[in-house]
Every structure is written in C-alpha cells, then in structure tokens.
Amino acid sequence: MFSNTLFMLSAALTLGGAFAVVYSQNLMHACIYLLASLFGVAGLYACIGADFLAATQLVVYAGGVVILMLFAIMLTGGTGNKINRYGLEKVAAMGNKKTYFTAGFAAVVTSLIILKIIASVLRAQPSKELAANQVTVEKLGTLLATDHILAFEISSVMLLGALVGAAIISRPRKEKHD
Amino acid sequence: MDYTLSTVAPVVLLPFFAFVINAFIVKKFTKLAVAVSTGAIFVSFLYALRIFLDFLNVYSVGYNIHKTFTWFDLSTGSSIFKVNMGIYIDNMTSVMLLMVTGAATIIHIFSTWYMHDDPRFGRFFVYLSLFTSAMLGLVLSDNLLSVFIFWELMGFCSYSLIGFYYEKEGAGNASLKAFMTTRVGDVFFLLGILALWSVVGNVSFVDIYNAIGAGKFNNLYALGIPLATFAGFSIFMGTMGKSAQVPLQVWLPDAMWGPTPCSALIHAATMVAAGVYLSLRMYPLMELGHLLPFIAIIGAITAFGAATIALVQTDIKAVLAYSTISQLGYMVIGIGVGSYNASFMHLITHAVFKACLFLSAGSVIHSIHCQEMPQMGGLRKKLPYTFFAMLLCCFAIAGVPFFSGFVSKDRILGDALVMALAHPVYIPVALLGFAGAFLTAFYMFRMLFLTFFGEPRDHHIYEHAHHEHLGWNSNIPLLILSVFTLGLFYSGSFTGQGEVNLFGTKNEWFSTLIHRPDSNSLHHFAEYKSEEFGLVDTRDKVELPRAHFDESHGMSEKEAHHVHQIHKAGALASIFIAFMGIFLAYSMYVKRSIYPGWWTSTFSGWTRALKNKYYFDDLYVKKIIQGLLLPFNNLLAWFDMGIYDKYAVDGWEAVNRFAFNVSRWFDNNIIDSGMVDGTGASVNLMNAILRWIQSGKIQLYFVVLIVVLASYIWTIHI
Amino acid sequence: MSTLNLDVYMPVVILIVLATLVAGGSLLVGGLIRPHNPTKLKETAYECGEEPIGTAWANFNVRFYVIALIFIIFDVESSLMFPVAAVFKRFNEIGLGGTLLMSVLTFVLVLVAGLVYCWKKGDLDWVKSFHATKVNIAAKEK
Amino acid sequence: MNSTIFSYFSQSKELSTIISGLSKSLGFDATSLVAFIVFAIACLVVVGALATIGGLGTYAERKISADLQARQGPNRVGPYGILQFLADGVKMILKEDIIPANADRFTFILAPFLCMIGVFATLAVVPFSSGFTLTDLNVGIFYLVGMASLVGVGVFLGGYSSNSKWSMLGGMRGASQIISYEIPATITIISIVLLAGGLSMGTLIGGQGGMPQEWYMFHNPFAFIGFFVYFISALAETNRAPFDLPEAESELVSGYHTEYSGMRFGLFALAEYIEVFVVCGVATALFLGGYKVPFELGTGAILVEKLGLDIMLAKNIGQVLELGSFFTKTFALYYVVIWVRWTLPRLRVDQLMTLCWKYLTPIAIFNLLGCAVWMYAFNGKSIYSLIFETASTVAGHH
Amino acid sequence: MINLGSYLIISFALFICGILVMVARKNIIAILLGIELILNASALNFVAYTKFMNNNLDGHIMSLFIIVTAAAEAAVGLGIVIRFFQLRESIHIDDAATLQN
C-alpha cells in the first residue's frame, strides 16, 4: 500500500523532473529539475531496498553534483547577458526546432531499440511477492572490502586523477596581454 | 623454511617500491633516490640469496614452491573462466633470482660511479628499479599471462633506458627500434598464450605441463599445423624478439645507445635472459611441437653470424653487443639440442661475465671518453683493475678451461656434437657452433688486445685518461664479478666435464638441480596441486623420482659411455679452438712486437702469409679482415637493410609509386578527357556529405552513433 | 521471509510533505491577510539606496568552483568510505582488521595526496590571486 | 529490520487490538494504515515541538545575548517576554511579501522550500529516545548528511534568485561554506561509524553508555578531537557565528536572504534554527552518548525488577528519562552555540576557507586514520576500559 | 506495482529524456545534465535487475561506482567547460569546433 505510494511518488518525481529538464528553457531551472529527478531516483532506490544507494544518491548528487553544476552555471555567466564581446551567443540556446527534430529522431530510434530489448521482460510479468529488503550497508562494505577491493582502491586513484586534472584545467591563469 | 607471501614478495616489491618512491622524490633528493634504489635491490638480493641457499640446502630436484591466488573469477555455472596469479619457485627460479638480483646490485653500485655526473642521475635509477622489479616479477611468475605482463613492462623500461639520452637522435631511434622489433615477437607470444589457453584453459606452467603430460595436445590443429607446434613457435617468436635471435636481432646492437650500465643490465641480467628463460620454461611444449631442430638452427645462425659481424666492429660496445647476440645463440642452440641444463647454465655464466665485460667497457669509456678501439691501446697500465677483470671475462667467454664459459658452452657444444652424430640435421648446428666458438675467442681477444695492449695509438686520449684508483663503487664491482667467472662456482669441478671433481659429486649442484621436465615424466605433475597463499608450501609433494631426471635416463651403460666419449672429444676440440682463437688474435695484434722469432720458427709455413701483417697497423688489419669477410658481412647487412628497409620501406614506396602511376594514367586519360566536370560535381557532392558528417559537432556524432548502434542491435536476435 | 514493506520510509515522506505544507500554508495564510501594494521602488534589489546597475548574474571567481571540486571528490570518497567503515568493527573482530586497515589507509592516503597537491598549488588559498598579483607587480617593477 | 516509533508502540497490547479490530472491520491488513496514523501524529508532534524549539531558540538567543551583554532583552510580550517569538511569527506572516521584479520567481519561491524540506527530512532519524525515533533507518547518519546537503542548494538558490549583488555574494559564499565544512563533518562522522560498526542511529548510540567514560567522545583521543572538529564544522554548516559570513550584516547587508521579506525570510530563519538543533542532536548522539541514561534505566528493566512495575509502563518511564537525557545534552550544546556567537569574532572569508581545508579536514582525516589504527591496535576498547583493565591487572584482580 | 517492468520503463524514459537533452541542447552544461540523466538510467537498471533477478548486491556495487564515476566526470567536464568559457567566452557546443578545419 504505502510501498506503492512511495514508488508512485518517486516515479512521478523522477519522470516529471526528467521531462522538465527536457522542456525547460532556463538552464538554472533545468538544473533544479534535474535535482528533483535525481531525488526521485533516490526514492526509487529506496523502494527496492537499495537504501545505501539512495543515501549516496542524495549525498553525491543533491549535495555534490548539482551544486557543482550550479556553480559552473554561475561561473559561465549565469543565465544573464546573452551576448559576449565577440558577438557570439554567450549562453547558448537551449535548442531550436532543428535540434529538437534531430533529438526526437534519435529518441525514437533509441526507444525502438530499447523497447525491443525490454519487450520480453514487459510481456512476462512475474507477479511473485517481493522479498523484504535486507540490510545492505554491511554487505556492501564487505563486498567493497573483499571482492571489489581493487575497484575500491582504483576508484580512489580515479578520484585523485579527477581532482588533479580538473584543478589544473580550471585553475585561473593569467591572461595574456594582447 | 616456510614460505609465505611476506618472505617471497619483497624480492619483487622492494625494487618496485623503490621505483614508486623515487618517482616522487627523484627531482629534489637525487642522492636519496639513488640510495633507496641501491638499498632496495641489495635487500632484495639478500632475500634472493636466502631463497637460493634454502633451495641449495634442500637439494632436491623436485622441490618447488607454488602459491597462487585468484585474480578474478568470471565463472558462471559450468563455464569456468578463472585467472590465477601466483609465484612458482623451483631450483631454476631460485638461481635466476640470485643471478638477477646479484647482477642488478652490482650494476646499481657501479652506476653510482658511472652516472654520478649525469644530469639525469636519479632518473636512471628510477628506471633501473622498475626494470629489475619487472624482471624479478617475470622470473617469479607461475603463469604465462603474468610473464607477459612483466615482459611488456620490461619492454617499456628498455625503451626508456635505451632512449635515456633522448637528446641524441640516434638514441631516440634506437629506443623506438628496440620497442618495435620486440613488439613483433610479442604479438606472436600473445598468440601463443591464447593458443595454449584454448587447450589448457589456464596458462600456469604447471597446468601446461600437466596438459602436455596428459596428451591434451594430440590431434589438435591450428591453421592446419599441429597446435603444439603453432603455440611453441609463437612463444619461441617471443624469445626471438626478446633474446635477439635472427631475424629479430637488429635491435640489440642499437641498444648500446643507452648508458653502459643499462646495457649491462639489458644484455646480461634481465631482458635478453627473459627470452631464453621463457623458452626453457616452455621446453616440453617445444619438444612436443618438434621445434627443436628449428630452434637449434636459428641459434646456430645467430651464434655464428653475430660472431662474424663482431670481427669487424671498432666500437668496443658494439663488439660486446654482437658477442651478446652470439652467446644468446649458444643458449638457443642449447635448447635446440636438448641441452637444457647447459643452456640455463650458459644463461647464468653469460650474465655474470657479460655484465662484467660491459661494466669494464663502461669503465674504459668513462675514463677516456671514447668508444673507438683504434684510438685506445696500452691502457692496461692506466686501468689495471679494469684490465684484470676484462681479462678474466675474456677467458670465460672464449671458453678457456677453468672458466665459467668453458663449462657451460662446451656442454652445449658437446651435446650438439652428440646430436650431430645422431642426426644429420644437427651437423650444420655443430659446425657453426664450433666455428662461432673460434671466432668468439678471436674477436674477444682482439678487443682486449686493441684496448689494453700495445702502444697508445691516440696519445691525446691516453694522456688524458686519469689513473685508476681502487674506488669502492667503480672497481670493486668489476672485481667481484670477475671472481665469479671461474667455472668452479658453477660446476664444482674445474673442467665441468665431471673429470676433476674437487668437492665430490654432490657439489655439482648445477647439473644435479637443474633438469628439464622430460616429456615422459611430465605426468608426475598431475599429482600436483597448487596452494593458496598462506597455507603450507608444497615441499616434497612434487618430489619427482630422481631417475626420471637422470641425464642418462633411457640410455644404456654403453650409450652413456659413448655420449661421454663424444663430450670429451668436443671438450678437447673446443679447448683447442679457443686457444686457436686467442692465439690468432694474439698473433695479429700483439705477437709480432713481443715474440716474433717464436712465431716464425714455430709456424714457418704461415710466416709469409702472416708477415704481410707485420707492416699493417690495426686499421689495415681491420681492412683485410673486412675484405675477407665482406661477402658474409654483406649478407648479414642485407638482412638488415635488404629485408627490412627494402621490402618494408622501399617496397611500400614502390607500391605507392605504382599506385601513383596508375592514378596518373587514370587522371590523364580518363578524367581529363571529358569527365572532369562530372567528377568534380560528384566529388563536390561527396564532399558536402562528408563535410556534413564530419562537422566536428559532437551531437551529430552522437546521433550517428545511436543510429549505427541501433541498426546493429536491431539485426541481432535477442 | 517477510514481504516487501517500506513503512520505515513513511516518516520521511510525511515530513517532506509536512515541510511543504508548513511553508506553503504559512505563505498562503499570510497571503490572505497581509497587505500587498507593490511599487517599483519596493521591487528593485536593495543596494544601499543606489540604483542597481546591470544584473547580479555575472561571472564569479573560479576559486568557488575549485572549492566545490575538491568538495565533491571528498564527498564521493566519504560515500565510499561509509560502508567500509561500517564493517571495520566486524572485520576487526574476526581478525581481518589489519587487511582492511591497509586498504583504508591506501584509499585515504591517495586522496590525501590530492589534497596535498591542491594545497601546494595554492588552490586552497582564498586570497592567492591577490597575492599573486602583488608578486607579479613586484616582478615587473624589477 | 528498522526500529521505528511505530514498532515501539506495537509492543503495547492496545495498539495491536486496535490493528486487529480495524483489520476485521475494514477487510484488509490495517497495519500500514495505523502505522501511517501513528507516524503522522508523531511527525506532527515532532514538527510542532521543533518549531516551538526553533521559536524559543530565537527568544533564548536574544535573552542569552542580552545576558551576556548585560541588558534586558525581550521582556514585553508574556512573562519575561517569553511569547516574543509568537509575536515575531505573527509579524512575519503579516508583513508584505515582496518579490523583486528582476528576480527569478521560480527559484525565489523554491529556495526556502528546499531549506525547509532539507531540514525537516533530517528530523526523521534524529534519535530523541530509543523508542521515540521517528524511524531508525539503516543508513541513518548518511541519510542525514544527504538530506542536510539540500540546505546548501536552498541557500545558493536563495542568493541566486534575488538578482541582487549582496544576495548573490552571500549565496555563493554560503553554498561554498556549507559544502566545504561538510567534508570535515562527514569524515569525523565516518570515524565514529568506524568505532560503532554501523550507520543507523541505534547502532551508533548503542555502542555508548550512559556514563561519560562510555561516550565515544572519551573513547579515544582521536574521537575527543573529532568532537571539536565536528562541532566547529557543524557551526559553520549551519552558518552560525562565528561563521555567519553569508549573512554578515556589516559587509553583505543580510546575505542570501537580503531580498526575502516576511514569511519567506521566516522560513529560512526557522530552518536555520531547527538545523542548529538537529546538528546539536547529532553531536549528542555521536559523541555524548545520545539518549543513554546511566545504569540502563532507559530500558526500564530495573524498574520492572525492583519496583514490579508493568513492563510497558516501565518502558515508557525509561523513554521519558531518555528524552530528558537527550534534550539536556542537546540544549547544553545549543547554549554553547549561542554563547560562542558573542564570544568569538566573525572570521574573514579567507580564514574561513583556511580553517576548513588546512586545519579541520587534515585533522579529520588524521582522526579517521587514528581511530582505525586505535580499533586495530586495541581491539576496539576504549581508553577507559584499557586503563581499568591495566589497573585491575596491576591490582591483581582478573 | 513495484516490478521489473515498471523499473525498466522508468529507466527507459529517463534514458530517452537524457538523449533528448543531450542532442537538442546546444549548451555544454545542459548536455552534461543529459549525461547525468543517462547515467542514472543505467544505474537504476543495474539495481532493478539485481533486485528482481538474482537478489544479490553486485548491481549495487556497479551503481555505486557509476555514481562515483559520474561525480568525477561532472567535475572534470565542468572544469573543461569553465576553461573553455575563459578562453572563448562561450559555452555553445558548436563553438568548440576548432579541430573541424
């Protein structure tokens, strides 16, 4: 009963957010909608017992990635002045008819394919009772510390690479005097 | 003793950690980095020594330590896909470990002197550490996959070391050449691994032996040839690349562009040894694939050909480089004629004396800042310790009795002789082998005499050569290495022929402990079970019956006696040949000025012929030799230039030229006459389409990607 | 085996709804009774009495981004650390604490290397640009 | 799997009779329905109580500030001016609601909502007592961290949407301050998770005891340092003095809520005050033994044994004791928060970042590793038990 | 209600939205938003399959690392965007075509 409600709410939030990201013409708003969508995904995780993932989704996306994106939007001039000093469109258009047409085409093609792949699953709906959710954190921790220890360690190296690389790329440099 | 991960791993991990640490600190704390590298390899050497002594203490043919762990396991249900990694230490590995760490330690110490005024002093040690740890990892590996990983790591290190002086164009080219040439072998090696995997389902040495013993390779064919032959050949191609066998030998002489200690490491202890080591490990496969004659012939051609080239070199390092190729040829001959133990012994002895030779050459070069032998001469007064070390090493490599080279090389040659008498295919092998031995003795002593004897030919250089003092890091390493050129350490007897046993039979540890895994005893490996790390080692679990590994196994008393007789004859012949070579060299480069009367009276028939040389100085002598050997030399040069340059480079150019001609004809006759406009339009059209596709717009690429992927998925049945 | 029951998440949903209701309700109630006479002056942004010039949505200094960047890396790191930290006690009890300690140590130290890098390169200094300019000017004067 | 307030009440017979009766009359399993009702009531109580606490917080702050500065503080509305916060609330509701013409209306309206949601959702796992925790999620503390990070978005959006330079600066500063200080706080939390071996609030508090020497704060030296690291980070995360840079009156007018008036501002303020309470509660739960009462009084077992009380009654009494314990510690911390405000001067923005990244984060990482090593070296024993054991060994008792 | 089919439909819709955003937008940051959507769709799929098919936790690990990777990707991607903006004062994706000619 409540499970279904939670699922419905999360799904609605996810899909609504995602559609709004597509629909929105304002980058900042799109970012907020993305936050909503990711929040919904966290709810969906919670529905099938991935409680740790749900929390991770909250911490990393809501607290991290979205803030990072909001910052990046501000650093690239927000959504204000549309034209830069070269006369170029500074904050680029959020798309026009042509691009939407291309995107629609790509989406249709992709959806055909995906539907073909998942058709068998959709046709055969197992209606068994779902098992209760287990405690995942300890199991995840055990997996991370034993079976996936290499991935665990390497992810730290990857994060280090991302940190150093992004810091180098985005570090303010002195402008050349021309 | 009980081996665990913590007692074995430091051997590899210490140099590796030294590499990791030094990679960070090398810029600021060069001295510290050098100390870390040297200290690490020295401690590693102590570990290896302990392992070696332990094995010597057990003194059992079958004693080994094999520990594995599962790297990853992708098995699902019935299909097993599991990759194990692990270490495998048997007698051979323990000897290799000792040799590699020992030589590397000596070379590290020597490098602290040789490289100390180099601007990239520290970086050199960083590479050395990685290189050594890669080699040690290769030696400890229990399966081909990790061998391949370390193999490639070494390839990279040699690339870095050869191109160490990357400002010099030649060094850059040489490093590229080394990298590319070995790559050819590596591709085949990988193919061989895959072929073995397809049969064995695993690439651990022991499992491969088991599969061979169980006859799993019977009636299996790849590309129409027996799979064992295919796999064996592919793996041997890897050896050819790494150990510089004809026709992949071209990279090794260029490898001398690197600093001399690194040449010592590449030529002696690590890189080239890896190839031979691999072939030795895969010996049962080679035997099963009937590849031995082929291997022997390749080895013989290499041994002789390289020796002839070495005759005409004037660069001291080039002589050594070609002699390395030649000696590697002997090791490969050893594999080919089934002289497993002697081949491995030659690997070890060669590592020692060649390391010493290179270090001595480095010492000379560093002292006089010149590599050309015609400009040297008379240096033995200035560099007495170097001279002493080099003399012993030259004795060793030439095969003078009581020295290590004699023990190992003559066993190989003796076995070659036995095989030649048994089968005519091996006759050229034996002939070329003996001829190569003669040339070896000759050119090595030619180098020695030109460098150290006679009068200084370039007084400017001679005057500027600083007098040598017994420095702890410049000369002690040489002297240590030169002591180990004595055959005593390897055979326990002076001659190595089992005739003079100084300490009794038990001390012939080398020929007792190292034995080839015979095909007819391989099934004993089937009882073997690999152990996970942390459990007890497999001591005595694989205790193979001594008889199965006896040299005389399957031979009657009479046959054994016969073989022994042939060995004896071969030994005598090679002693004679060695002295002949030395004698010839001596007569050409030193003799006349010292004992001319003795010469004329003893060899009166030869006097007139030799007299001509009295009035030639070294340059002319060289010209004569070059003139005599020019055809052969040209043949080898033709290999180098004619094959590689002509067919790879010029051939491609010819193809291009041909295509160009065709298209010009096409252009002139068809396009220009009337089709210009139409073609132009079509080209424009194509251009437009291509330009539209190649727009640099990532999103368009993405859409195209989706469509292509979609069409692909749509066609497959799900 | 019990069936799927998500009642434990009920308070979360209720609280989120409640937060929305409290906020929205108070605004709504207030909307009914409070005055509403907007003027142009009221609706301009406050700038101490000056007329605001241009929009506030200008480019900001990139150091904000660098801070956020370091933050997200450590955020992800902590989210990976949580499950491992949660099992540390249990591993320690069965004698695997040393192994886990080593892996945690490696993991953390690699990231500390990143922090040290940023520290050395001055990404953590808020006033670096000011200082750098000073140094630059000094260098130019020479 | 998780203990919730509903599972606590399910222990009483009355509730189970109600559930079975309802199930019979309605024709389906009414457990969820009853659970919903229980949760809804509990949530209302918690929110009501927390709103009151938040309101009283403003009053307390003004009163304490006045004390510290030797003045009277609010004293007109109600006895000792205690109803001042109600008057403030009414005033806020009645104030005109102004949205600047150039503002981004959507985000302008959304920002306070995000702050409210982020703070209120964290209340779900705050452990008021062993029974009266709304829901003790398995990922409790991690969930709390995640939900609290919504506040950062809210602050940023509040600053952004106003389209005012003061607001924008305040919002950027606020957001980067909140996310920066999240790192030392989170890492310190990890070190406590390491000690406790679980993420749920029940596990975290369960590893501690009622007496101070059983608290994690005094478990080992690293945790002791960790408490201060966490407390400082928490202050900064809630934008409290001396870290109230985003709303620094003297330089940024009022920071990210410069353009907010009336109830919208009130929502920000309410969220902030409740967050301070939540953060103090978390500090209590992690370091100060949470709701634990000395001598295991909280379970009520002793009461049943010694006084022969009814089990449920004893448990309820235990819960009340636990609530008292929790609120006492939390309010003590709350007092310290207010106290700090008038003791320490505000930091400069560069000092703020230096403090976070060059002091707190390295110390926090050091603490984490230190805790791990301590766990490994001393088998998870606290310093007190180590001393006690050594002492008893020396004294010859074993 | 909660079954594999509905999860697949949701992740499918998320994926399509991601593709729409990625292709339709000309703003690099917006494209990154689309990528986040796509990554979430795939992570959701992993978890759903692992719950409904074999009920172990491998999918969770996979999703965890997807989240980790997505965060690193966002950090580096946005760093590049910011650098690009500093150089060209634009975040229009078609301006990033220096290599075209």
The 10s digit of each residue's pLDDT in B460-489 is 777 777 766 667 778 888 888 888 888 777
What is the per-residue pLDDT for B552?
41
Peptide bond connecting B247 to the previous residue in cis, omega within 30 degrees of 0: yes
Q: Give pLDDT tens digits for C6-52.
A: 777 888 888 888 888 888 888 888 778 877 777 776 666 666 666 66
- For residue B653, give every residue at least 6 positions away whose Cβ sits within 8 Å of its Cβ, in sequence order, or none: none
| Residue B492 included in any domain | no
Q: Give CA–CA dist B160/D395, Å, rounded.
A: 66
Closest-CA residue to B191 (of B223, B224, B216): B223
Do residues E2 and A78 touch, judged by C-beta distance below 8 A? no
* Main-chain dihedrals φ then ψ at residue B266, nearest 5 degrees: -65, -45
In this prediction, the residues of chain E whose per-residue pLDDT falls under 50 are 101
- pLDDT at residue B297 above 60? yes
What is the per-residue pLDDT for B610?
32
Closest-CA residue to D323 (of D280, D292, D283): D292
- pLDDT at residue B516 above 70? no
Q: Give CA–CA dist D250/D207, Å, rounded.
A: 45
* Through-space distance between the first and last CA atoms of chain B, rounded to whole angstroms: 57
pTM over 0.80: no
- pLDDT at residue D384 above 50? yes
Single-letter residue type at B692: W
H-helix or E-strand containing D315? helix D311-343
- pLDDT at residue B364 above 50? yes
Do residues B32 and B139 touch, judged by C-beta distance below 8 A? no
Question: Stretch B319-343: mean pLDDT, rounded?
Answer: 87
Q: Name which residue leads in pLDDT, C132 or C103.
A: C103
What is the per-residue pLDDT for B622?
47
CB contact under 8 A, E12 and A118: yes
| Neighboring chain D residues of A134 at a CB cutoff of 8 Å | 1
| Neighboring chain B residues of E81 at a CB cutoff of 8 Å | none
For the record, the structure tokens of A93 come out as 């258009």
Least trusted range by pLDDT, from B421-435, B496-510, D313-327: B496-510
| Residue B678 included in any domain | yes
Of the ranges B526-540, B630-644, C123-137, D176-190, the best mean pLDDT one:
D176-190
What is the per-residue pLDDT for C59?
62
- For residue D263, give every residue at least 6 positions away whose Cβ sits within 8 Å of its Cβ, in sequence order, or none: C26, C27, C30, D92, D93, D95, D97
Q: What is the DSSP string of chain A?
A: -HHHHHHHHHHHHHHHHHHHHHH-S-HHHHHHHHHHHHHHHHHHHHHTT-HHHHHHIIIIIIIIIHHHHHHHHHHTTTT---B-TTSSBSS--S--HHHHHHHHHHHHHHHHHHHHHHHHHHHS---PPPBPP---HHHHHHHHHTTTHHHHHHHHHHHHHHHHHHHHHHS--PPP--
Question: Would you mind telling me the total number of residues written for chain D in this entry?
Answer: 398
Q: Give residue for tokens 């005599």.
A: B628
Q: Which chains are adjacent to chain B, needing at least 3 Cβ pairs under 8 Å?
A: A, E
Do residues D376 and C92 touch, judged by C-beta distance below 8 A? yes
Q: Give pLDDT tens digits for D23-79.
A: 777 777 777 777 788 888 888 888 888 888 888 888 888 888 888 888 887 777 777
CB contact under 8 A, A107 and E19: yes
- For residue D272, give every residue at least 6 positions away whose Cβ sits within 8 Å of its Cβ, in sequence order, or none: D115, D238, D239
pLDDT band at B343 (very low <50, low <70, confident <90, very high): confident
- For residue D216, give every residue at least 6 positions away whose Cβ sits within 8 Å of its Cβ, in sequence order, or none: D192, D195, D196, D207, D208, D223, D286, D287, D289
Q: Give CA–CA dist D254/D249, Å, rounded.
A: 5
Single-letter residue type at D363: I
Residue range E4-91, CATH number:
1.10.287.3510
Chains C and A touch (3+ CB pairs under 8 A): yes
For the record, the structure tokens of D163 come out as 């389209």
Q: Name which residue leads in pLDDT, B607 or C32.
A: C32
Do residues A63 and D146 touch, judged by C-beta distance below 8 A? yes
pLDDT band at B453 (very low <50, low <70, confident <90, very high): confident
Q: Give CA–CA dist E19/E21, Å, rounded.
A: 5
Chain A residues with CB within 8 Å of chain D CB: 1-2, 26, 28-29, 32, 35, 42, 51-52, 54-59, 62-64, 66-67, 70-71, 74, 78, 132-138
A77 Ramachandran zone, left/alpha/beta (phi>0; psi -120 to 50):
left
Q: Give CA–CA dist D9/B488, Å, rounded.
A: 89
What is the per-residue pLDDT for B596?
40
| Test mutation, B698, B707, B712, chain A, max A CBs within 10 A | B707
What is the per-residue pLDDT for B620?
34
Chain E residues with CB within 8 Å of chain B CB: 19, 22-23, 31, 93-94, 96-97, 99-100
| Residue B308 included in any domain | no
Distance from CA of C20 to the nearest CA of E (A): 26
CB contact under 8 A, A67 and D152: yes
Question: Domain of B690?
Answer: 618-715
Q: Give CA–CA dist C138/B682, Å, rounded.
A: 64
Q: Give pLDDT tens digits for E57-70.
A: 888 888 888 888 88
Q: Name which residue leads in pLDDT, B390 or B640.
A: B390
Question: Stretch D363-370: mean pLDDT, rounded?
Answer: 89
Total tally of structural domains belonging to chain B: 1
| Residue B197 included in any domain | no
Closest-CA residue to B98 (of B11, B17, B38, B4): B11
pLDDT band at B545 (very low <50, low <70, confident <90, very high): very low
H-helix or E-strand containing B302? helix B292-311
Q: Give CA–CA dist B577/B575, Å, rounded.
A: 5
Distance from CA of A2 to the nearest CA of D (A): 7
Q: Give pLDDT tens digits for B124-152.
A: 888 888 988 999 999 888 888 889 988 88
Q: Name which residue leads in pLDDT, B611 or D241.
A: D241
What is the per-residue pLDDT for A93?
59
Do residues B107 and B264 touch, judged by C-beta distance below 8 A? yes
What is the per-residue pLDDT for B696?
60
Q: Give CA–CA dist D17/D11, Å, rounded.
A: 11
Farthest CA pair distance, chain B = 95
- pLDDT at residue A172 above 70? no
Instruction: Work out the number of other CB atoms within 10 angstroms of the CB of residue B215.
Output: 11
Instruction: Work out the number of other CB atoms within 10 angstroms of the CB of residue B298.
Output: 23
Q: Which chains are adjacent to chain A, needing at least 3 Cβ pairs under 8 Å?
A: B, C, D, E
- pLDDT at residue D397 above 80? no
What is the per-residue pLDDT for D176?
83
CB contact under 8 A, C76 and E71: yes
What is the per-residue pLDDT for C77?
87
| Neighboring chain A residues of E61 at a CB cutoff of 8 Å | 140, 143-144, 148, 151
- For residue D322, give every residue at least 6 positions away whose Cβ sits within 8 Å of its Cβ, in sequence order, or none: D128, D129, D130, D131, D132, D291, D292, D293, D298
Residue-range domain boundaries for chain E: 4-91
What is the per-residue pLDDT for D389?
82
Chain C residues with CB within 8 Å of chain E CB: 4, 62, 65, 69, 72-73, 75-76, 79-80
| Residue B685 included in any domain | yes
Chain C contact for E79 (CB, 8 A cutoff): yes
- For residue D348, give every residue at least 6 positions away whose Cβ sits within 8 Å of its Cβ, in sequence order, or none: none
Q: What is the DSSP string of D187-229?
A: HHHHHHHHHHT-SSHHHHHHTS-SSGGGSGGGTSHHHHHHHHH
Q: Give CA–CA dist B557/B577, Å, rounded.
A: 30
Least trusted range by pLDDT, from B261-275, D248-262, E1-15: D248-262
**CA-based angle B295:B298:B304, to the nearest 5?**
135
What is the per-residue pLDDT for C139?
61
Question: Would you mind telling me the total number of residues written for chain A in this entry?
Answer: 178
Q: Give CA–CA dist D95/B84, Å, rounded.
A: 74
Mean pLDDT over all residues of chain B? 76
What is the per-residue pLDDT for D16?
77
| Residue B688 included in any domain | yes
pLDDT band at B543 (very low <50, low <70, confident <90, very high): very low
